[in-house]
Chain A
Amino acid sequence: MDAEVLLLADRFEPAARIARFTAAHPASGGVVSFIGQVRAGDGVEVLELRHYGPLTLPGMEALAARARTRWQVDGLLVIHRTGLMSPGDPIVLVAAAARHRRDAFAAADFLMDHLKSESWFWKRERANGEWCWIEPREADFADLARWG
């Protein structure tokens, strides 16, 4: 079992990352991946993600370790952007490789719910020239509660 957890300040290519991850786990019968991207529309010009160095990456690593103890996975990939992004840019990529698909689906779902509402990121967007911080949505907390 291996886990690659990265915090990136520059744009990345999810397809290339998934291809490499999948090739590295030939014994896994299933690979589930999720890509989050900057939503276009509502006049959004730029999205910025801030983080806090001492907590953010260690928190992501601890999250991957929790997923690993909970499901039978062969590998995990967690990539999260920081900095300035444009609509269509990837923000986050999670992938889970497992012998059987249910573990891979569940681990990826768990990782995403916790990255959204429990990891140390703060998001703001500039729309029509005005910066605005994005507050967490109630739905994000409800998603988190599913995992007990």
Chain B
Amino acid sequence: MAIRLVFLGRLEDAAGAGEREVAVAPTLAAVLAGLEPELASVLSGDRIRLARNGELVAPDAAMRLADGDELAFLPPVSGG
């Protein structure tokens, strides 16, 4: 029973690892509430996009989550 969190780019440094498994929580807000407050604040930033199970979604705090979900936090990109 877990939710997998993926931290891209500089968020990896903020989280201390590129991925983390957390206990299943009913909503995005509940997942964030279970993290270090500093990390939760960074992940809630305006410029952070969110993907749920590989698809971009609007970061809605009330979004319902299920066991096995993957949430990826995506900061501004820098490619090329």
A contacts, CB < 8 Å to B: 36, 49-50, 52-55, 80, 91-92, 112, 115-124, 133-136
Contacts and interface: CB of A to CB of B under 8 A. Distances in A.
Interface in B1-30: 6, 8-10, 13
A121 B56 contact: no
A115 B80 contact: yes
A56 to B, nearest CB: 9
A123 B79 contact: yes
A124 B79 CA distance: 10
Given A122-B8, A133-B13, A55 B76 contact: no
Interface of B: 6, 8-10, 13, 51, 53-56, 72, 74-80
Contacts of A50: 8-9
Nearest to B18: A50
5 contacts: A116-B79, A116-B80, A119-B77, A119-B80, A136-B76
